[in-house]
Amino acid sequence: MATSTPPRTGRAQSSRPVRRAPRSHLAPRWLPYAMLAPALVFELLVHIVPMLTGIFISTLQLTQFYVRRWLDAPSAGAGNFEVALNFDGAIGASLLRSFAITFAFTIATLALSWALGMFAAVLLQRPFRGRNALRTLFLVPYALPVYAGVIVWKFMLGRDNGMVNALLSGLGITDGTTFWLLGDNAFVSTVVVAVWRLWPFAFLTLMAGLQSVPGEVYEAAAVDGAGMWQQFRSFTLPMLRPVNQVLLLVLFLWSFNDFNVPYILFGQSVPASADLISIHVYQASFITWNFGVGSAMSVLLLLVLLVITAVYLPLSSRRMRDA
Amino acid sequence: MREPISFRVLRVVGLTLLTLFVLGPIYVMVSSSLKPLGDVRGKFTWIPSTITVAPFVDIWSTVPLARYFANSLVISLLATLCSVLLAISAAYAISRYRFRGRSAFRITVLSTQMFPGILFLLPLYLIFVNIGQLTGFALQGSRLALVITYLTFSLPFAIWMLVGYFDSIPRELDEAAHVDGAGPIGALVRVVLPSAAPGIAAVAIYSFMTAWGETLFASVMTNQSSRTLAIGLREYSTQTNVYWNEVMAASLVVSVPVVVGFLLLQRYLVQGLTAGAVK
């Protein structure tokens, strides 16, 4: 991601015999570091140091008795990891199931959000009446604070007073007595709500990407007699590849790490079918107060994310080069 | 160029369905916020039996919404202010200077963006507790703890976007300021900042939205006096009763400021996204 851009020294500057002369008498060598320092300090304090601390905690027997003086907690060695990875035990088995559910949820959410975003971006690519109004409207679910958007869905998905059951029975599809927030239906509900929130981001990004596709490409294609679908396949998709590379990774990480949707939909009693990994670790840590095992699960989650990113980035970059 | 009729039909049908999908929950939110309590307890109705603004009055007394609102506002504004200032400073250094560790910094900051909050929630909680014990200042549960936490959530994206914006401002402008006797900071304040104003506005609304909507850390790191809207909104449900009309009214009230801000500034956000992505 952080590509090393070539130095943008001005032309007048580079032709001078003394390298960097104009800047060195203006800006002391330490200045850029001083400008970065505040941002770096806060990132270290809130992200990096806690992450390293978390790895350390995962080797402790840390229960609620030790929270106030957690440095005194006895060591557990690899014990927490043995518990978390013992798939025959209750904790390990539920962790494994939670990972499986999270993958299923992520694939479904990512695919649907991307498809809807792409669909809308292509439909709105050319001007017509009402285009700007629709474009703005489609961004609203993403702009809403997440708890406000999701709590409306919680109300809508209620069995007796919800809009979804009223709609489905009104259309004659169901008898209107479905429990949408219990059992296996809870998985479907979680995906729908997550997609509702996330697809506008895919739309926004793809719309920005489509603006960089020059119109002449389409005109040339039309002269050659290429149909709309063919144009989409052979021009639009390939030109969006750099945007898609970043977008898919972001959508993946956001869905995989989603905490808000299940937390706001279900509160403390998350149905097994919607037990996403973030909420699983949260409950292991803060509901059962077993911080050591919770941290061990976090470390495993971190490893999974690192492996996925490490595999994805080179793979997608190579595909991009080959194209 | 002419569009085939099949494409136009697809466009009308597709956009209608998407509009219904997007508008459905928004309609439920608005219409239910105008219903009397009886309407939201029974079977769902599309039209309120009578239209009442009572929920918008009652939300302030059912739970201390004004306090949560003030907490959210103070925390989000401070986090936004700090995040924008830190991002301007860091982005200017990255955009204008070449120095050792420049790309290492960018990778470090960007990579913090990819990990879920749950990874550092617990350790951060313990660290804040410890800092409190060492200094005697109860950091854990305070609004300051949330300000510090939230400002780092938007910082990576803010830096990334502002680097894109700053790079697009010609360096000749800086040099002209230097000729006029301005130092590096003078050039930043007098030349670069005014030209990057739209980008800064977009970054600010993004930071504000991030802080305003955060739920996970707020659920652990706040107490009764520092509680934010994200957690406060849950208090409309009691053991026996959920005041759904008030929940909807409160959701609407807390959404309007950020939605309006976002929709006004989303154009610049898109510009920044493309500027950052092209690099």
Q: What is the pLDDT of residues A230-252, one digit of tens each?
A: 878 877 888 888 888 888 988 99
**Domain A99-294 in CATH 1.10.3720.10:** yes
Over residues A112-140, the pLDDT tens digits come to 999 999 999 999 888 888 888 998 899 99
Alpha-carbon distance of B91 to A121, in angstroms, equals 31
Inter-chain touch A4–B103, beta carbons under 8 Å = yes
pTM for the complete prediction?
0.86
The pLDDT of residue B276 is above 60: no
**Structural domains of chain B, with CATH:** 62-236+256-278 (1.10.3720.10)
Mean pLDDT of chain A: 82
What local confidence, expressed as pLDDT, does residue A26 receive? 58
Output the pLDDT for position A294: 86
* Dist. CA A57–CA A299, nearest whole Å: 10
Which residues of chain A from 180 to 239 reach within 8 Å of chain B, CB to CB?
196, 200, 204-205, 207-209, 211-212, 218-219, 222, 227-228
Amino acid (1-letter code) at residue B74? V
What is the b/e burial string over B235-265, where b = at least 16 CB atoms within 10 angstroms of the residue's CB?
Answer: bbeeeeebbbbbbbbbbbbbbebbbebbeeb
User: Does A209 or A1 have the greater pLDDT score?
Assistant: A209
Q: What are the tens digits of pLDDT across the range A135-175?
A: 889 999 999 999 999 999 999 998 888 898 889 888 888 88
Q: 């009693």: which residue's tokens?
A: A269
Mean pLDDT lowest among A91-95, A224-228, B124-128: A224-228
The structure tokens listed for A287 are 């509901």
- The percent of residues in chain A predicted with pLDDT above 90, rounded, is 29
Closest CA to B126 of B117, B139, B113: B139
Answer whether residue B103 shows pLDDT above 90: no
Task: Give yes or no for a contact between A111 and A255, defined as CB atoms under 8 angstroms apart.
Answer: no
Q: How many angstroms separate the CA atoms of A101 and A95, rounded? A: 10
Per cent of chain A over pLDDT 70 is 87
Question: pLDDT tens, B212-267?
Answer: 999 889 988 888 888 999 888 888 887 677 888 999 999 999 999 889 888 888 87
Instruction: Please list the alpha-helical segments (H only) found in chain A.
Output: 11-14, 21-24, 31-43, 49-57, 79-85, 90-123, 131-138, 140-143, 146-156, 163-170, 185-210, 215-223, 228-231, 237-239, 241-256, 260-266, 277-282, 291-322
When the pLDDT of each residue in chain B is averaged and rounded to a whole number, the result is: 86
Cα B161 to Cα B266: distance, rounded to the nearest angstrom: 13
- How far apart are the C-alpha atoms of A273 and A256, rounded to whole Å? 15
Residue A276 clears pLDDT 90, i.e. is over it = yes
Q: Residue A15: pLDDT above 60?
A: no
CB contact at 8 A, B103 and A4: yes
pLDDT digits (tens, 9 = 90+) for B176-215: 888 888 787 888 888 888 888 888 988 998 899 999 999 8
**Tokens 């950091």 found at:** B139
Q: How confident is the model at residue B87 (pLDDT cuts 50, 70, 90)?
A: very high
Residue B103 Cα, gap to closest chain A Cα (Å): 6
pLDDT of A7 above 60:
no
Give the tens place of pLDDT for each residue, A180-225: 888 899 999 999 999 999 999 999 889 888 877 777 777 777 677 7
At A49-82, the pLDDT tens digits run 998 888 888 888 777 777 667 777 777 777 788 8
A32, A161, A257: residue with CB nearest B93: A32
Ranges A24-33, A110-119, B24-33: which has the least confidence? A24-33
Amino acid at A323: A
From the list B6, B93, B171, which residue is nearest A35 (CB)?
A: B93
pLDDT at residue number B137:
80
Neighbours of A24 (CB within 10 A): 11
Please report the pLDDT score of residue A140 as a whole number: 92
Residue B22 with chain A: CB contacts under 8 Å: 137-138, 140-141, 196, 200
pLDDT band at B2 (very low <50, low <70, confident <90, very high): low
Distance to chain A for B106, nearest Cα, Å: 6
- Give the model's pLDDT for residue A30: 87
Q: Choose the weakest-confidence range: A21-35, A95-109, B126-140, B181-195.
A: A21-35
Cα-based distances in Å from A261 to A90, A241, A276, B74, B110: 25, 29, 10, 25, 24
Residue recorded with tokens 């909420």: A279
Per-residue model confidence (pLDDT) at position A245:
83
Give the SS3 label for residue A88: coil
Domain ranges of chain A: 99-294
Among A129, A84, A107, A113, residue whose Cα is nearest residue A290: A84
Split at pLDDT 50, 70, 90, the class of A320 is low
State the pLDDT at residue A161.
85
Interchain pair A152, B29: CB under 8 A: yes
- Least confident range of A19-23, A53-57, B101-105: A19-23
Cα B158 to the center of its chain, rounded Å: 12
Task: Look up residue A267 and give its amino acid.
Answer: G
Which band of pLDDT confidence, cut at 50, 70 and 90, is reported for residue A23? Answer: very low
User: Rg of chain B over CA atoms, in angstroms?
Assistant: 23
The answer to whether B29 and A152 have CB atoms below 8 angstroms apart is: yes
